[in-house]
Amino acid sequence: MSRYTTPPIHDILKNYFGYDQFRPLQEEIITHILSGRDAVVLMPTGGGKSLCYQLPALAMDGVTIVISPLIALMKDQVDNLKLDGVAAEYINSTLPFPEILRIQDAARNQQLKILYVAPERLALPGFQAFLQDLKVSLIAIDEAHCISEWGHDFRPDYRNLANLRQEFPQVPVVALTATATPFVRDDIIAQLKLTDPKIFQSSFNRENLFYHIWPKKNAFQSLVNFLSQYKNQPTIIYCFSRKDTELVASKLCAQGFPAVAYHAGLEDQIRSEVQDKFIRDEVSIIVATIAFGMGIDKPDIRLIVHYDLPKSVEGYYQETGRAGRDGLPSGCLLFYSWGDKIKQDFFIDQIVDEQEKAKAQGKLARIVEFCQSQKCRRKFLLEYFGEQWDKPNCGRCDICITPLEEFDATEIVQNILKTIALTGGRFGAGHLVDVLRGAETEKIFERRHDRLAVYGVAKDFSTRELRRIIDLLLDRNLIVKTPGEYPTLIMSKSGQQLMTTNEKINLPKPPPMSVAKDAGKSTGKMVQDLKYDQVLFEKLRALRKKIADEKNVPPFMVFPDRSLFEMAFYFPQDTRGMGRIFGVGDKKLREFGQIFVEEIADYLKTARPPRPAPSQPLAASGRKQEPSQKNVSTYDETQKLIDQKLTLSEIARQRNLAVGTILSHLEKIVQDGYGINRLEFLRPAEPKFSKIRSAFEIYGTGKLSPVKEFLGVEFSYDDIRLARIFLVEQHGEEI
Render pLDDT for 171-199 as a digit per residue (tens, 0 to 9): 999 999 887 777 888 888 988 888 899 99
DSSP-assigned states of every residue in 162-195: GHHHHH-TTS-EEEEES---HHHHHHHHHHHT-S
Is a pLDDT exceeding 50 seen at residue 529? no
The predicted pLDDT at position 624 comes to: 31
The predicted pLDDT at position 613 comes to: 37
Through-space distance between the first and last CA atoms of the chain, rounded to whole angstroms: 37
In the structure, what pLDDT confidence band is assigned to residue 647 with cuts at 50, 70 and 90?
confident
CA–CA separation, 384 and 376 (whole Å): 12
Centre a 10 Å sphere on the Cβ of residue 387 and count the other Cβ atoms it contains: 15
The predicted pLDDT at position 150 comes to: 62
CA–CA separation, 617 and 329 (whole Å): 16
**Quick one: fold of 632-731?**
Arc Repressor Mutant, subunit A (1.10.10)
CA–CA separation, 718 and 660 (whole Å): 6
Strand, coil or helix: 487: coil
The predicted pLDDT at position 73 comes to: 78
Say if residues 162 and 192 touch (Cβ distance below 8 Å). yes
Tell me whether the CATH fold assigned to 406-510 matches the one assigned to 632-731.
Answer: yes
DSSP 449: G
Global pTM value: 0.65
**490: β partners:** 480
Is a pLDDT exceeding 60 seen at residue 287? yes
The predicted pLDDT at position 139 comes to: 95
**406: β partners:** 508
Give the residue, 714 or 277, on which the prediction is more confident: 277
DSSP 156: G
Tallying the residues shown for the chain, one arrives at: 735
Is a pLDDT exceeding 90 seen at residue 502? no
Render pLDDT for 349-362 as a digit per residue (tens, 0 to 9): 888 888 888 888 88
Is a pLDDT exceeding 80 seen at residue 519? no
CA–CA separation, 97 and 30 (whole Å): 34
Give the residue, 90 or 723, on which the prediction is more confident: 90
> Identity (one letter) of the amino acid at 128?
Q
Render pLDDT for 460-492 as a digit per residue (tens, 0 to 9): 898 878 988 998 888 788 999 887 667 899 999
The predicted pLDDT at position 394 comes to: 87
Report the percentage of the chain scoring pLDDT > 90: 32
The predicted pLDDT at position 729 comes to: 61
Our measurement of the distance from residue 598's CA atom to the centroid of its chain's CA atoms, rounded to an integer in Å, reads: 34
In the structure, what pLDDT confidence band is assigned to residue 703 with cuts at 50, 70 and 90?
low
Q: H-type helices in 60-116, by residue range?
A: 71-83, 97-108
Weakest-pLDDT range from 178-192, 390-404, 610-624: 610-624
Burial per residue of 714-723, b for 16 or more beta-carbon CB atoms within 10 angstroms, e otherwise: ebebbbbbbb
CA–CA separation, 490 and 477 (whole Å): 10
Weakest-pLDDT range from 279-283, 364-368, 436-440, 508-512: 508-512
The predicted pLDDT at position 304 comes to: 95
Q: H-type helices in 193-337, by residue range?
A: 219-227, 242-254, 268-279, 313-320
Is a pLDDT exceeding 90 seen at residue 678? no
Please state the rounded mean pLDDT for residues 21-30: 89
Report the percentage of the chain scoring pLDDT > 70: 88
Say if residues 343 and 240 touch (Cβ distance below 8 Å). yes
CA–CA separation, 176 and 383 (whole Å): 20
For the domain made up of 406-510, the CATH class stated in words is mainly alpha
Say if residues 236 and 295 touch (Cβ distance below 8 Å). no
542-606: in CATH 1.20.120.160:
no
Render pLDDT for 532-554 as a digit per residue (tens, 0 to 9): 888 899 999 999 999 999 888 88
Give the residue, 675 or 242, on which the prediction is more confident: 242
The predicted pLDDT at position 630 comes to: 34
Counting Cα atoms < 13 Å in the Cβ hemisphere of 352 gives 0
The predicted pLDDT at position 702 comes to: 67
The predicted pLDDT at position 197 comes to: 92
The predicted pLDDT at position 6 comes to: 39
Residue 734 to residues 352, 402, 533, 698, 701, Cα–Cα distance (Å) = 71, 55, 32, 11, 7
Long-range contact list for 443-451, CB < 8 A, 24+ apart? 447/423, 449/423
The CATH code belonging to domain 9-201 is 3.40.50.300
Our measurement of the distance from residue 374's CA atom to the centroid of its chain's CA atoms, rounded to an integer in Å, reads: 24
Please state the rounded mean pLDDT for residues 541-569: 90
Counting Cα atoms < 13 Å in the Cβ hemisphere of 75 gives 14
DSSP-assigned states of every residue in 613-647: PTT---GGGT----GGGTT--HHHHHHHHHHTT--
The predicted pLDDT at position 2 comes to: 43
> Identity (one letter) of the amino acid at 437?
R
Q: Which CATH number fits domain 209-401: 3.40.640.10, 3.90.79.10, 3.40.50.2000, 3.40.50.300?
A: 3.40.50.300
Say if residues 648 and 681 touch (Cβ distance below 8 Å). no
User: Where do the structural domains in the chain lie, given as residue ranges?
Assistant: 9-201, 209-401, 406-510, 542-606, 632-731
The mean predicted confidence, pLDDT, of the chain is: 83
